[in-house]
Amino acid sequence: MTAGLGVTAPRKLTRIGTIDRPRTHDPRNQAPMTVPTNEPIGSATPNVTNIGANDSRQNRTREMQLIPEALARAHMHDRLREAEAERRAVRLVSARRMQRRAERASLRARRALAMAVMH
């Protein structure tokens, strides 16, 4: 194209983007990815689907939301075990106390019987 005096008119530069320097950073204006035509049919590179990624991300999010509940459940389980062990310890202490009291009462009764037999 020559404009008037033999000077070429400036052309609009259409720059092709590269991976390092894309033409635009807006994903809506970027060209869609195309499958290379020289790939054999049924090659080892399957088409990428986001369904699996979304499912795993959703699953991970669900698991992460349930972590505090699982921690609380484990904490409550530990507290219940501690409380049960404490109850067993209290029962054991009271049983030993009652046993000593019964032994003292038995000794008093034996002494009283011996005193009665001696008189």
For the stretch 34-72, pLDDT in tens is: 655 665 565 555 555 555 556 666 667 777 888 899 999
Distance CA 105, CA 94 (A): 16
* pLDDT > 70: percent of the chain: 51
Comparing 75 with 118, the larger pLDDT belongs to 75
> How far apart (Å, rounded) are the C-alpha atoms in residues 59 and 52?
10
